[in-house]
């Protein structure tokens, strides 16, 4: 009997998911590499839907799979788990995929992965899952009925919204049940794809290129200079290949604008890779300004330098350094951005794999590194200069607690400034600065409220006079 052909989309999704599982790779980076010009738009769309959908709903998919296993405690090989998740996701979440295609191609994926002996198990489990999905009509209410009401609230929410218990428990404590539920739900919605124009002279060409890649281009959600992309395959566009535009979440773009870089400024981007914010900083500094883009990892610095070259950004110097050590610069900088490595809990809609890779213990380790990064950066801030400390985290240990600790003992040399004033000039009509700044003056965005990643930023000013 001839093997059933596997669609390119399912093959790509399977391979990306296997790399995420076995190498802790970032799904969007692997997908971007796979979805080049040789992939049809339809296949790119389905591959993206399958990959990110499986990662978002992984815990619920495993729960639904276990119901159909004779031995629910059976340890499954990685390739078998991924094939089952792909199959169950299609059966429960995709209306236009025939059940036989979801089942049969998942079986073929296991065979392709040289796990032929597991093919009968995958076939049997998915046929049971298909029957259950059909009987329960795939509704959210039906899914709720499958999780015992006797489960603790955090566990029940964790299964139904596909998050680890420890994270749900933390958000219930920090935000209360209503806001925690909103956050869990928002993390499972497909986020907007946002970009900005790198080369203003190529704006019209960039727009045409994205449209040719079947992207619908609309104004940004928050920022007047951002675009929101719907559908299509932007990775295959000339605009992306030639760096006429850069894909970047609008909250992330806003952080770069918050720094208020002026023409001729000296700027340090301490944790710069992959370089999207650096491009915005360099554009604001102009040809007379000087931007230093630093990162810990040499391969990421090389990739940034290549990106800047392609984009025609000439006023940036790239440096490999460890920002947790005293910074090796003799001069001070007018503007410093510390977009610190963090847990990424504000990006779980865009990077769903993080929820499965992160551990509660990671937060204390990250906090210590973040405090050191901020202290070292403050030491190189020029009098009357401005520093932005930012993360894409929702956790106090990585945000205000870092700022408070780093500023403690500075004896009035630095002060916190309100972010709202710097926001007004960059927001689109109808978006108020107050909606993005909390009572303490910190910049905050929420996925459930703003449709962007969840970002935090503190604006810190050096109070000493220039000599």
> Are residue 207 and residue 323 in the same domain, yes or no?
no
> Per-residue pLDDT tens for 193-224?
999 999 889 999 999 999 999 999 999 999 99
From the list 199, 226, 222, 234, the residue with the least C-alpha distance to 41 is 234
Distance between CA atoms of residues 97 and 438, nearest Å: 44
Distance between CA atoms of residues 173 and 12, nearest Å: 39
Find the angle CA(282)-CA(460)-CA(367) to the nearest 5 degrees.
95
Q: 225 by DSSP, 3-state: which?
A: coil
> Are residue 238 and residue 384 in the same domain, yes or no?
no
User: DSSP letter string over 269-286?
Assistant: ETT-TT-HHHHHHHHHH-
180 within a domain of the structure (yes/no): no
The enclosing domain of 31 has a CATH number of: 1.10.940.10
> Per-residue pLDDT tens for 296-306?
999 999 999 99
Strands (E), 254-408: 266-269, 290-295, 316-320, 333-339, 381-391
> Are residue 129 and residue 207 in the same domain, yes or no?
no
Assign 446 a pLDDT band (cuts: 50, 70, 90).
very high
> Are residue 444 and residue 397 in the same domain, yes or no?
yes
Sorted by sequence, the CB contacts under 8 Å of residue 38 that are 6+ apart come out as: none
Query: Of 146, 172, 201, which marks where a domain is finished?
Result: 146
Distances (CA, A) of 111 to 4, 64, 79, 104, 105: 11, 22, 10, 11, 10
Q: What is the DSSP letter of 4?
A: P
pLDDT of residue 5: 83
Q: Are 289 and 260 in contact (CB under 8 A)?
A: no
175 within a domain of the structure (yes/no): no
- pLDDT of 39 > 90? The answer is no
Q: Are 335 and 383 in contact (CB under 8 A)?
A: no
> Per-residue pLDDT tens for 303-352?
999 999 999 999 999 999 999 999 999 999 999 999 999 999 999 999 99
Burial class (CB within 10 angstroms; exposed 0-12, middle 13-18, buried 19+) of 412: exposed
Assign 3 a pLDDT band (cuts: 50, 70, 90).
low
The enclosing domain of 226 has a CATH number of: 3.30.70.1170
> Are residue 243 and residue 263 in the same domain, yes or no?
no
Distance between CA atoms of residues 221 and 359, nearest Å: 32
> Are residue 328 and residue 387 in the same domain, yes or no?
yes
Query: Of 111, 146, 181, which marks where a domain is finished?
Result: 146
> Are residue 365 and residue 456 in the same domain, yes or no?
yes
> Are residue 238 and residue 117 in the same domain, yes or no?
no
Give the residue, 40 or 348, on which the prediction is more confident.
348
From the list 393, 254, 413, the residue with the least C-alpha distance to 332 is 413
The pair of structure tokens assigned to 328 is 């090796």
169 within a domain of the structure (yes/no): no
Strands (E), 248-380: 266-269, 290-295, 316-320, 333-339
Distances (CA, A) of 105 to 41, 45, 131: 20, 18, 17
> Are residue 274 and residue 198 in the same domain, yes or no?
no
From the list 287, 270, 281, the residue with the least C-alpha distance to 341 is 270
Q: 253 by DSSP, 3-state: which?
A: helix
274 within a domain of the structure (yes/no): yes
Taking the alpha carbons at both ends of the chain, their separation in whole angstroms is: 83
Provide, rounded to the nearest whole percent, the portion of the chain with pLDDT above 70.
Answer: 97
Q: What is the DSSP letter of 39?
A: S
Name 317's bridge partners: 292
Q: Return the axis-axis angle of helices 99-112 and 8-23, rounded to nearest 10°.
A: 50
Distances (CA, A) of 225 to 148, 186, 194, 257, 427: 48, 25, 11, 11, 8
The pair of structure tokens assigned to 211 is 């449209």
Distance between CA atoms of residues 160 and 143, nearest Å: 7
The count of structural domains within the chain is 3
Is 195 catalytic? The answer is no
365 within a domain of the structure (yes/no): yes
Burial class (CB within 10 angstroms; exposed 0-12, middle 13-18, buried 19+) of 294: buried
> Are residue 370 and residue 391 in the same domain, yes or no?
yes
Centroid of chain to Cα 462? 31
Centroid of chain to Cα 313? 24
The pLDDT mean for the chain works out to 94
Domain that holds residue 226: 193-247
pLDDT of residue 1: 45
279 within a domain of the structure (yes/no): yes
The enclosing domain of 445 has a CATH number of: 3.40.50.150
Sorted by sequence, the CB contacts under 8 Å of residue 176 that are 6+ apart come out as: none
Query: Of 91, 118, 146, which marks where a domain is finished?
Result: 146
188 within a domain of the structure (yes/no): no
From the list 77, 83, 88, the residue with the least C-alpha distance to 22 is 77
Give the mean model confidence (pLDDT) for residues 449-464: 95
> Are residue 243 and residue 307 in the same domain, yes or no?
no
317 within a domain of the structure (yes/no): yes
| pTM of the predicted model as reported, rounded to 2 decimal places | 0.93
> Are residue 263 and residue 274 in the same domain, yes or no?
yes
């Amino acid at each position: 009997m001839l093997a059933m052909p596997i669609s390119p989309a399912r093959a790509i999704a399977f391979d990306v998911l296997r790399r995420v599982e076995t190498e802790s790779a970032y799904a969007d980076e692997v997908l971007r590499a796979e979805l080049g010009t040789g992939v049809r738009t339809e296949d790119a769309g389905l591959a993206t839907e399958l990959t990110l959908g499986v990662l978002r709903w992984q815990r619920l998919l495993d729960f639904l799979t276990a119901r159909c296993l004779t031995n629910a405690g059976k340890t499954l090989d990685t390739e078998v788990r991924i094939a089952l998740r792909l199959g169950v996701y299609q059966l429960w979440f995709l209306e236009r995929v025939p059940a036989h295609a979801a089942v049969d191609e998942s079986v073929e994926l296991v065979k392709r992965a040289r796990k032929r002996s597991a093919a009968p198990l995958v076939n049997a489990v998915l046929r049971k899952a298909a029957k259950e999905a059909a009987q329960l009509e795939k509704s959210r209410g039906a899914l709720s009925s499958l999780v015992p009401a006797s489960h603790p609230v955090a566990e029940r929410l964790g299964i139904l919204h596909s998050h680890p218990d420890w994270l749900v428990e933390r958000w219930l404590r920090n935000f209360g049940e209503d806001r925690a539920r909103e956050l869990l739900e928002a993390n499972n919605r497909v986020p907007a794809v946002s970009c900005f124009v790198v080369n203003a002279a190529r704006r019209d060409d960039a727009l045409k290129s994205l449209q040719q890649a079947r992207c619908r281009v609309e104004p940004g959600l928050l920022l007047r200079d951002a675009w929101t992309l719907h559908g299509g395959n932007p990775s295959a566009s000339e605009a992306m290949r030639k760096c006429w535009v850069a894909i970047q979440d609008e909250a992330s773009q806003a952080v770069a604008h918050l720094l208020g870089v002026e023409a001729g400024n000296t700027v340090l981007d301490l944790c710069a890779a992959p370089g999207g914010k650096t491009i915005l900083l360099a554009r604001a500094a102009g040809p007379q300004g000087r931007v230093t883009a630093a990162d810990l990892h040499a391969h990421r610095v090389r990739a940034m330098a290549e990106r800047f070259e392609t984009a025609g950004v000439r006023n940036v110097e790239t440096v490999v350094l460890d920002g947790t050590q005293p910074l090796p610069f003799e001069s001070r900088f007018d503007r410093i951005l510390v977009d610190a490595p963090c847990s990424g809990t504000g990006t779980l809609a865009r990077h769903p794999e993080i929820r499965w890779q992160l551990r509660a213990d990671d937060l204390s380790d990250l906090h210590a590194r973040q405090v050191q990064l901020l202290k070292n950066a403050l030491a190189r801030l020029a009098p009357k200069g401005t520093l932005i400390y930012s993360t894409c985290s929702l956790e106090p240990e990585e945000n205000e607690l870092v700022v408070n600790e780093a500023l403690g003992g500075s004896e009035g040399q630095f002060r916190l400034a309100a972010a709202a004033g710097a926001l007004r000039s960059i927001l689109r009509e109808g978006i108020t600065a107050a909606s993005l700044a909390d009572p303490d003056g910190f910049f905050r965005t929420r996925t459930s409220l703003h449709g962007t990643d969840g970002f935090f930023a503190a604006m810190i000013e050096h109070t000493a006079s220039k000599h």
